[in-house]
């Protein structure tokens, strides 16, 4: 491929100064112009249309020569596209050389070497025209403006559904969390001062007056409980709910409900 | 909650929904507007009437691929375009040709696109089309390399005001008008 190409370049080496008349483009516009082609097929189509060549009977020599002029130009200005274009050059030259070969009589019906090229050119042209049509079609954001009136968005609040299972699950969670919580305040619940305050008040409600020592079950209760009980009595006294009386030092202390009489 | 069956009221609900929606509304979307069951035939009938009601207005009710929408009539396009003059960016020919190939030959691989255009597919081109949500990958061709198969989206049809691919301008036309031939 490379050798064919350099050979061809030498043959048409003067193309830089002697562009075919209708192919002449001002040098500074050339780059822009060449970049306008979407690829070798696009360039070939342009040449065919420009020179009114019959796409079904393409004069391969003419087309290839003109095509090579463009490719040389692209090569000269180091256009990135060169690769695809070089491949096409090779294809054109191959077709041209196959056409030069004499056909053996028995394979008379062999396909025209140009058939594949023609098929591709026609397919590309169809797509190219389809693309132009698509481009011209009115589109949203350009020719089509879609209505989008403003509205105050109010989200419809639906009361969430609760099943019995949800409820049971929630309760289990509460218990679980409560047990975690309890873990951190060891023994406080069973030795609650508040609880003992109630117990004492309830006892005094029925018994009206008790001796201080009667409030303590020294045999049954451990020391912590005795302490809590004592604290409860002090607390009740402080809040003015109990009244404690003692006739003389070391005599029994009596406890009764302070009834505000 | 009792909702009226009054036709005018039903049409008003549809109208409000369609005018405020940013995307086309499908029949299914619209049945959800009503607490009571709404038959599709009834819905279509109501939409037809709504379309008639608006026939003398600046907005028209049209059907596209993903549903129904209100849009400004074409005659106002030039005026409306003046509001956003910088919006008139054009896609390059590479983008449009790639789009055309995907639209008319889908599902296609990059290889198919390269074969038709005769040049390598610029990844930028595919990205532009995918970002616009006009093209997406619908699968892989079961050949070595498992290349992605590209197709156009509903959004593409919506944006081109089409209900289906069948409404694309027929492709044969171009070949015939340009090159009358029989191979």
CA atoms of B147 and B109, how far apart (whole Å)? 6
Closest by Cα among A27, A65, A35, A74 to A47:
A65
- C-alpha A134/C-alpha A142 separation (Å) is 13
- C-alpha torsion angle, residues A18, A24, A30, A35 (rounded to 10): -110
* Residue ranges of B 126-155 with Cβ closer than 8 A to chain A: none
Question: In this predicted structure, what is the pLDDT of residue B183?
Answer: 39
On whether the CB atoms of residues B73 and B58 are closer than 8 A, the answer is yes
Of B21, B77, B174, Cβ closest to residue A130: B174
Instruction: Give the nearest partner residue to B100 out of A88, A122, A131, using CB atoms.
Output: A131
For every residue of A34-62, which 3-state class applies, written as one string? HHCCCCHHHHHHHHHHHCCCCHHHCCHHH
* pLDDT recorded at residue B25: 95
The overall pTM is greater than 0.80: no
The three-state secondary structure class of A220 is coil
Q: In chain A, which residue's Cα lies nearest the Cα of B173?
A: A126
- Quick check: B20 and A150 CB within 8 A? yes
Q: Give Cα separations from A37 to A21, A41, A113, A239, B117 (angstroms).
A: 20, 9, 25, 100, 11
Residues of chain A with pLDDT under 50: 1-21, 185-189
- Would you call A231 exposed, middle or buried from its count of C-beta atoms within 10 A (0-12, 13-18, 19+)? middle
> What does the pLDDT look like over A201-258, one tens digit per residue?
888 888 888 888 888 887 777 788 888 888 888 888 888 888 888 887 778 888 888 7
The answer on pLDDT for B117 being more than 50 is yes
Higher pLDDT, A192 or B26: B26
Given this model, what pLDDT does residue B68 score? 96
A142–chain B nearest CA distance, Å: 7
Contact B174, A122 (CB under 8 A): no
Q: Tell me, yes or no, if B106 comes closer than 8 A to chain A by beta carbon.
A: no
Contacts of A147 in chain B (CB under 8 A): 18-19, 59, 69-72
* More confident position, B86 or B39: B39
pLDDT at A211: 85
Of B19, B80, B175, the CB nearest to A149: B19
- pLDDT score of A220: 78
Residue-wise DSSP of A117-170: HHHHHHHHHHHHHHHHHHHHS--BTTTB-B-----------PPPP--HHHHHHH
pLDDT of residue B44: 95
pLDDT, one tens digit per residue, over B170-181 is: 876 444 444 444
Number of neighbours of residue B173 by Cβ within 10 angstroms: 13
Nearest to B116 among A127, A133, A144 (CB): A127
Tokens of A1: 């491929």
Taking an 8 Å cut-off on Cβ atoms, the answer to whether A144 and B158 are in contact is: no
Separation between Cα atoms, residue B103 and residue A218, nearest integer Å: 96
Q: How far is CA B104 from the centre of its chain?
A: 15
* Average pLDDT of the segment spanning B48-52: 96
pLDDT tens per residue, range B83-107: 877 655 788 888 999 999 999 888 9
Q: Which residues pair with A254 in a beta bridge?
A: A211, A245
């Amino acid at each position: 491929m490379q050798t064919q190409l350099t050979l061809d370049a030498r043959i048409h080496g003067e193309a830089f100064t002697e562009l075919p008349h209708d192919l002449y483009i001002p040098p500074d516009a050339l780059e822009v112009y060449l970049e306008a082609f979407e690829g070798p097929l696009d360039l070939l189509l342009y040449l065919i249309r420009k020179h009114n060549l019959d796409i079904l009977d393409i004069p391969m020599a003419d087309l290839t020569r003109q095509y090579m002029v463009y490719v040389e130009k692209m090569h000269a200005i180091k256009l990135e596209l060169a690769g695809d274009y070089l491949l096409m050059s090779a294809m054109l030259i191959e077709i041209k050389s196959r056409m030069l070969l004499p056909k053996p009589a028995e394979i008379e019906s062999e396909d025209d070497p140009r058939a594949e090229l023609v098929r591709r050119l026609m397919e590309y042209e169809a797509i190219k025209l389809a693309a132009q049509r698509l481009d011209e079609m009115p589109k949203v954001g350009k020719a089509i403006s879609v209505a989008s009136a403003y509205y105050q968005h109010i989200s419809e609040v639906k009361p969430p559904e609760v099943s019995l299972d949800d409820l049971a699950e929630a309760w289990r969670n509460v218990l679980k969390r409560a047990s975690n919580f309890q873990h951190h305040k060891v023994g406080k619940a069973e030795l609650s001062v508040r609880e003992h305050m109630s117990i004492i008040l309830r006892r005094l409600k029925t018994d009206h007056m008790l001796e201080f020592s009667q409030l303590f079950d020294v045999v049954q209760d451990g020391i912590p409980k005795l302490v809590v009980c004592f604290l409860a009595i002090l607390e009740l006294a402080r809040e003015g709910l109990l009244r404690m009386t003692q006739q003389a030092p070391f005599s029994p202390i009596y406890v009764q409900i302070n009834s505000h009489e | 909650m009792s909702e009226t069956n009054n036709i005018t009221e039903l049409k008003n609900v549809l109208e409000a929904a369609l005018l405020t929606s940013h995307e086309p509304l499908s029949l299914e979307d619209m049945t959800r507007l009503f607490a009571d069951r709404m038959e599709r035939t009834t819905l279509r009938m109501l939409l037809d009437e709504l379309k008639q009601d608006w026939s003398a207005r600046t907005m028209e009710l049209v059907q596209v691929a993903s549903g129904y929408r209100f849009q400004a009539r074409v005659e106002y396009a030039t005026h409306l375009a003046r509001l956003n003059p910088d919006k008139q960016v054009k896609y390059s020919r590479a983008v449009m040709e790639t789009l055309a190939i995907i639209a008319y030959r889908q599902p296609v691989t990059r290889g198919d696109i390269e074969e038709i255009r005769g040049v390598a597919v610029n990844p930028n081109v595919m990205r532009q089309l995918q970002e616009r949500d006009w093209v997406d990958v619908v699968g892989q061709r079961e050949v070595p390399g498992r290349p992605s198969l590209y197709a156009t989206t509903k959004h593409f049809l919506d944006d081109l005001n089409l209900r289906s691919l069948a409404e694309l301008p027929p492709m044969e036309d171009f070949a015939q008008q340009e090159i009358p031939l029989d191979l």
